[in-house]
Amino acid sequence: MKELTYLFGAYSLVWLGIFVYLGILHARIRELEQRLQEDE
Amino acid sequence: MRKRSAWLWITGFLGLAGIWAALLYAPRAQWPGPKGTVLGEVQRIFYFHVPLAWMMFFTFGLAAWWSFRYLATRDLRFDLKAASAVEVGLLFSVLAIGTGSLWAKPAWGVFWTWDPRLTTILLLFLGYVAYALLRSTLEDPERRARLSAIVGLVVFLNVPLTYFSVRLWRSLHPVVFLEKGSTVNVSPPMLVALLVNLAFYTSLGLFLIRMRERIARMEHALELEGEP
Protein backbone atom coordinates (compact mmCIF):
# COMPACT_ATOMS: atom_id res chain seq x y z
CA MET A 1 0.00 0.00 0.00
CA LYS A 2 2.82 2.36 0.93
CA GLU A 3 4.53 1.54 -2.39
CA LEU A 4 1.40 2.54 -4.32
CA THR A 5 1.34 5.85 -2.44
CA TYR A 6 4.87 6.63 -3.66
CA LEU A 7 4.05 5.45 -7.20
CA PHE A 8 0.89 7.54 -7.54
CA GLY A 9 2.51 10.44 -5.70
CA ALA A 10 5.27 10.45 -8.31
CA TYR A 11 2.77 10.17 -11.19
CA SER A 12 0.68 13.01 -9.74
CA LEU A 13 3.77 15.20 -9.44
CA VAL A 14 4.62 14.61 -13.12
CA TRP A 15 1.13 15.33 -14.47
CA LEU A 16 0.63 18.30 -12.17
CA GLY A 17 3.95 19.76 -13.32
CA ILE A 18 3.12 19.23 -16.99
CA PHE A 19 -0.40 20.68 -16.80
CA VAL A 20 0.59 23.67 -14.69
CA TYR A 21 3.41 24.48 -17.14
CA LEU A 22 1.09 24.01 -20.14
CA GLY A 23 -1.44 26.31 -18.49
CA ILE A 24 1.19 28.99 -17.87
CA LEU A 25 2.42 28.79 -21.49
CA HIS A 26 -1.12 28.91 -22.85
CA ALA A 27 -2.05 31.94 -20.75
CA ARG A 28 1.15 33.76 -21.73
CA ILE A 29 0.55 33.09 -25.44
CA ARG A 30 -2.97 34.52 -25.23
CA GLU A 31 -1.73 37.59 -23.35
CA LEU A 32 1.06 38.28 -25.85
CA GLU A 33 -1.21 37.71 -28.85
CA GLN A 34 -3.63 40.25 -27.42
CA ARG A 35 -0.87 42.80 -26.85
CA LEU A 36 0.50 42.34 -30.35
CA GLN A 37 -3.01 42.74 -31.82
CA GLU A 38 -3.53 45.94 -29.82
CA ASP A 39 -0.24 47.30 -31.19
CA GLU A 40 -1.38 46.65 -34.74
CA MET B 1 -2.44 25.08 -36.64
CA ARG B 2 -3.59 21.70 -38.04
CA LYS B 3 -0.05 20.34 -37.73
CA ARG B 4 0.14 21.46 -34.11
CA SER B 5 -3.20 19.90 -33.25
CA ALA B 6 -2.17 16.58 -34.90
CA TRP B 7 1.04 16.70 -32.87
CA LEU B 8 -0.98 17.27 -29.70
CA TRP B 9 -3.28 14.33 -30.50
CA ILE B 10 -0.32 12.01 -31.14
CA THR B 11 1.32 13.17 -27.90
CA GLY B 12 -1.94 12.61 -25.98
CA PHE B 13 -2.29 9.12 -27.45
CA LEU B 14 1.32 8.30 -26.56
CA GLY B 15 0.68 9.64 -23.04
CA LEU B 16 -2.27 7.29 -22.51
CA ALA B 17 -0.32 4.39 -24.04
CA GLY B 18 2.57 5.27 -21.70
CA ILE B 19 0.35 5.15 -18.60
CA TRP B 20 -1.12 1.82 -19.72
CA ALA B 21 2.32 0.37 -20.48
CA ALA B 22 3.82 1.53 -17.17
CA LEU B 23 0.96 0.56 -14.87
CA LEU B 24 -0.62 -2.46 -16.58
CA TYR B 25 1.48 -3.90 -19.41
CA ALA B 26 4.91 -3.99 -17.76
CA PRO B 27 5.42 -6.92 -15.38
CA ARG B 28 5.70 -6.37 -11.65
CA ALA B 29 9.46 -6.41 -11.10
CA GLN B 30 11.39 -7.30 -7.97
CA TRP B 31 13.49 -4.44 -6.65
CA PRO B 32 15.72 -4.53 -3.55
CA GLY B 33 14.54 -2.32 -0.71
CA PRO B 34 16.28 -1.34 2.55
CA LYS B 35 17.04 -4.02 5.21
CA GLY B 36 16.53 -6.95 2.82
CA THR B 37 12.97 -6.07 1.80
CA VAL B 38 11.74 -6.59 -1.77
CA LEU B 39 9.79 -3.87 -3.55
CA GLY B 40 7.41 -4.40 -6.45
CA GLU B 41 4.96 -1.74 -7.58
CA VAL B 42 7.13 1.27 -6.77
CA GLN B 43 9.62 0.12 -9.41
CA ARG B 44 7.09 1.32 -12.02
CA ILE B 45 8.36 4.85 -11.35
CA PHE B 46 11.25 3.69 -13.57
CA TYR B 47 9.01 4.02 -16.69
CA PHE B 48 8.64 7.75 -16.29
CA HIS B 49 11.66 8.68 -14.16
CA VAL B 50 14.11 7.47 -16.85
CA PRO B 51 12.31 9.24 -19.76
CA LEU B 52 12.14 12.46 -17.69
CA ALA B 53 15.88 12.26 -17.04
CA TRP B 54 16.49 11.49 -20.73
CA MET B 55 14.45 14.54 -21.74
CA MET B 56 16.40 16.69 -19.30
CA PHE B 57 19.69 15.64 -20.96
CA PHE B 58 18.17 15.95 -24.45
CA THR B 59 16.72 19.46 -23.98
CA PHE B 60 19.97 20.69 -22.39
CA GLY B 61 21.80 19.13 -25.36
CA LEU B 62 19.51 21.02 -27.76
CA ALA B 63 20.14 24.23 -25.79
CA ALA B 64 23.91 23.71 -26.11
CA TRP B 65 23.60 23.05 -29.86
CA TRP B 66 21.50 26.18 -30.40
CA SER B 67 23.88 28.21 -28.21
CA PHE B 68 26.74 27.05 -30.43
CA ARG B 69 24.71 27.91 -33.56
CA TYR B 70 24.06 31.38 -32.14
CA LEU B 71 27.77 32.00 -31.51
CA ALA B 72 28.57 30.75 -35.03
CA THR B 73 25.87 32.74 -36.86
CA ARG B 74 24.80 35.55 -34.44
CA ASP B 75 21.23 34.76 -35.47
CA LEU B 76 18.96 35.67 -32.52
CA ARG B 77 16.47 32.94 -33.42
CA PHE B 78 18.98 30.37 -32.09
CA ASP B 79 19.27 32.27 -28.83
CA LEU B 80 15.49 32.18 -28.38
CA LYS B 81 15.44 28.46 -29.17
CA ALA B 82 18.23 27.78 -26.65
CA ALA B 83 16.48 29.76 -23.90
CA SER B 84 13.21 27.89 -24.60
CA ALA B 85 14.97 24.52 -24.43
CA VAL B 86 16.62 25.46 -21.10
CA GLU B 87 13.28 26.40 -19.54
CA VAL B 88 11.67 23.12 -20.63
CA GLY B 89 14.81 21.28 -19.48
CA LEU B 90 14.43 22.86 -16.04
CA LEU B 91 10.86 21.53 -15.84
CA PHE B 92 12.08 18.03 -16.71
CA SER B 93 14.92 18.35 -14.15
CA VAL B 94 12.49 19.20 -11.37
CA LEU B 95 10.25 16.28 -12.35
CA ALA B 96 13.18 13.83 -12.71
CA ILE B 97 14.61 14.86 -9.31
CA GLY B 98 11.14 14.77 -7.68
CA THR B 99 10.22 11.32 -9.03
CA GLY B 100 13.71 10.07 -8.17
CA SER B 101 13.27 11.23 -4.57
CA LEU B 102 9.89 9.52 -4.32
CA TRP B 103 11.52 6.30 -5.54
CA ALA B 104 14.57 6.72 -3.31
CA LYS B 105 12.51 6.87 -0.10
CA PRO B 106 11.13 3.29 -0.32
CA ALA B 107 14.24 1.92 -2.10
CA TRP B 108 17.02 3.54 -0.06
CA GLY B 109 15.11 4.72 3.02
CA VAL B 110 15.81 8.42 2.38
CA PHE B 111 14.42 11.06 -0.01
CA TRP B 112 17.87 12.49 -0.70
CA THR B 113 21.48 11.46 -0.26
CA TRP B 114 24.72 13.07 -1.48
CA ASP B 115 25.34 10.31 -4.00
CA PRO B 116 27.50 11.21 -7.08
CA ARG B 117 24.52 11.01 -9.49
CA LEU B 118 22.22 13.05 -7.26
CA THR B 119 24.89 15.62 -6.49
CA THR B 120 25.91 16.11 -10.13
CA ILE B 121 22.27 16.37 -11.23
CA LEU B 122 21.64 19.03 -8.57
CA LEU B 123 24.70 20.97 -9.76
CA LEU B 124 23.44 20.68 -13.34
CA PHE B 125 20.03 22.00 -12.31
CA LEU B 126 21.56 24.91 -10.38
CA GLY B 127 23.80 25.71 -13.37
CA TYR B 128 20.76 26.13 -15.62
CA VAL B 129 18.92 28.11 -12.94
CA ALA B 130 21.94 30.46 -13.05
CA TYR B 131 21.56 30.60 -16.86
CA ALA B 132 17.90 31.63 -16.51
CA LEU B 133 18.73 34.22 -13.83
CA LEU B 134 21.49 35.67 -15.99
CA ARG B 135 19.07 36.10 -18.90
CA SER B 136 16.57 37.89 -16.71
CA THR B 137 19.17 40.46 -15.59
CA LEU B 138 20.42 41.48 -19.06
CA GLU B 139 18.39 43.89 -21.16
CA ASP B 140 20.41 44.29 -24.33
CA PRO B 141 19.29 41.37 -26.59
CA GLU B 142 22.69 40.95 -28.31
CA ARG B 143 24.66 40.95 -25.06
CA ARG B 144 22.13 38.67 -23.38
CA ALA B 145 22.30 36.24 -26.28
CA ARG B 146 26.13 36.20 -26.38
CA LEU B 147 26.61 35.71 -22.63
CA SER B 148 23.77 33.17 -22.40
CA ALA B 149 25.26 31.13 -25.25
CA ILE B 150 28.67 31.03 -23.52
CA VAL B 151 27.12 30.10 -20.15
CA GLY B 152 24.87 27.55 -21.89
CA LEU B 153 27.90 25.81 -23.38
CA VAL B 154 29.91 25.91 -20.13
CA VAL B 155 27.03 24.51 -18.03
CA PHE B 156 26.48 21.76 -20.60
CA LEU B 157 29.93 20.34 -19.71
CA ASN B 158 28.26 18.96 -16.57
CA VAL B 159 25.84 16.81 -18.64
CA PRO B 160 28.34 14.02 -19.57
CA LEU B 161 29.72 14.15 -16.01
CA THR B 162 26.19 13.65 -14.62
CA TYR B 163 25.45 10.82 -17.06
CA PHE B 164 28.69 8.92 -16.41
CA SER B 165 28.82 9.66 -12.65
CA VAL B 166 27.33 6.23 -11.84
CA ARG B 167 30.16 4.57 -13.77
CA LEU B 168 32.97 6.87 -12.64
CA TRP B 169 32.30 6.71 -8.89
CA ARG B 170 30.73 4.23 -6.47
CA SER B 171 27.05 5.14 -6.53
CA LEU B 172 23.79 3.93 -5.02
CA HIS B 173 22.02 4.90 -8.23
CA PRO B 174 21.62 1.92 -10.58
CA VAL B 175 23.11 1.85 -14.09
CA VAL B 176 20.02 1.36 -16.28
CA PHE B 177 21.65 0.03 -19.41
CA LEU B 178 24.49 -2.39 -18.74
CA GLU B 179 26.06 -3.00 -22.11
CA LYS B 180 26.74 -6.68 -22.63
CA GLY B 181 27.47 -6.84 -26.35
CA SER B 182 24.22 -5.54 -27.81
CA THR B 183 21.89 -6.48 -24.94
CA VAL B 184 20.49 -4.40 -22.09
CA ASN B 185 19.54 -5.49 -18.57
CA VAL B 186 15.77 -4.96 -18.86
CA SER B 187 13.32 -7.62 -20.08
CA PRO B 188 11.53 -7.13 -23.46
CA PRO B 189 8.12 -6.09 -21.96
CA MET B 190 9.92 -3.62 -19.68
CA LEU B 191 11.83 -2.28 -22.66
CA VAL B 192 8.57 -1.82 -24.64
CA ALA B 193 6.99 0.10 -21.73
CA LEU B 194 10.11 2.21 -21.42
CA LEU B 195 10.26 2.97 -25.16
CA VAL B 196 6.57 3.99 -25.31
CA ASN B 197 7.16 6.40 -22.44
CA LEU B 198 10.38 7.67 -24.03
CA ALA B 199 8.41 8.42 -27.20
CA PHE B 200 5.72 10.24 -25.21
CA TYR B 201 8.06 12.44 -23.17
CA THR B 202 10.21 13.22 -26.22
CA SER B 203 7.15 14.30 -28.21
CA LEU B 204 5.83 16.31 -25.26
CA GLY B 205 9.20 17.97 -24.66
CA LEU B 206 9.54 19.04 -28.29
CA PHE B 207 5.97 20.34 -28.25
CA LEU B 208 6.67 22.38 -25.09
CA ILE B 209 9.86 23.81 -26.61
CA ARG B 210 7.91 24.90 -29.72
CA MET B 211 5.26 26.55 -27.52
CA ARG B 212 7.88 28.32 -25.39
CA GLU B 213 9.74 29.42 -28.51
CA ARG B 214 6.55 31.00 -29.85
CA ILE B 215 6.30 33.02 -26.63
CA ALA B 216 9.98 34.01 -26.87
CA ARG B 217 9.47 35.24 -30.44
CA MET B 218 6.45 37.34 -29.46
CA GLU B 219 8.29 38.76 -26.43
CA HIS B 220 11.20 39.63 -28.70
CA ALA B 221 8.85 41.38 -31.15
CA LEU B 222 7.41 43.46 -28.30
CA GLU B 223 10.91 44.18 -27.01
CA LEU B 224 11.86 45.57 -30.42
CA GLU B 225 8.78 47.79 -30.32
CA GLY B 226 10.03 49.14 -26.98
CA GLU B 227 7.41 47.59 -24.71
CA PRO B 228 8.42 46.00 -21.38
**B9-33 pLDDT, tens per residue?**
999 999 999 999 999 998 887 776 6
Judge whether residue B5 has pLDDT over 70: yes
Judge whether residue A40 has pLDDT over 50: yes
Q: What is the pLDDT of residues B99-133, one digit of tens each?
A: 999 999 988 889 998 988 899 999 999 999 999 99
What does pTM read for this prediction?
0.90
Is residue B85 within 8 A of residue B60, CB to CB? The reply is yes
Judge whether residue B178 has pLDDT over 80: no
Judge whether residue B172 has pLDDT over 80: no
Confidence of residue B167 (pLDDT cuts 50, 70, 90): confident
Judge whether residue A27 has pLDDT over 90: yes
Q: Which residue is closest to B225 within chain A, CA to CA?
A: A39
ipTM (interface predicted TM): 0.93
The alpha carbons of chain B give a radius of gyration, in whole angstroms, of 19
Question: What percent of chain B stands above pLDDT 70?
Answer: 90
Judge whether residue B228 has pLDDT over 80: no
Is residue B62 within 8 A of residue B128, CB to CB? The reply is no
Please tell me the predicted confidence (pLDDT) of residue B35.
Answer: 66
Is residue B152 within 8 A of residue B90, CB to CB? The reply is no
Q: Which residue is closest to A14 within chain B, CA to CA?
A: B95
Q: Which of the 8 DSSP states describes residue B32?
A: E
List of chain B residues whose C-beta atoms are within 8 Å of the C-beta of residue A16? none
The answer to whether the CB atoms of A6 and B48 lie below 8 A apart is no
Is residue A16 within 8 A of residue B205, CB to CB? The reply is no
Is residue B1 within 8 A of residue B194, CB to CB? The reply is no
CA distance A35 to B133: 25
Is residue B44 within 8 A of residue B23, CB to CB? The reply is yes
List of chain A residues whose C-beta atoms are within 8 Å of the C-beta of residue B227? 35, 39
Report the 10 Å Cβ neighbour count for B23: 15
The shortest C-alpha distance from B225 to chain A (Å) reads 9
Q: What is the mean pLDDT of chain A?
A: 92
Q: What is the mean pLDDT of chain B?
A: 89
Residue of B207, B219, B70, B213 whose CA lies nearest to B150: B70
3-class secondary structure for B52-103? HHHHHHHHHHHHHHHHHHHHHHCCHHHHHHHHHHHHHHHHHHHHHHHHHHHH
Please tell me the predicted confidence (pLDDT) of residue B72.
Answer: 96
Q: Does B147 touch chain A (CB under 8 A)?
A: no
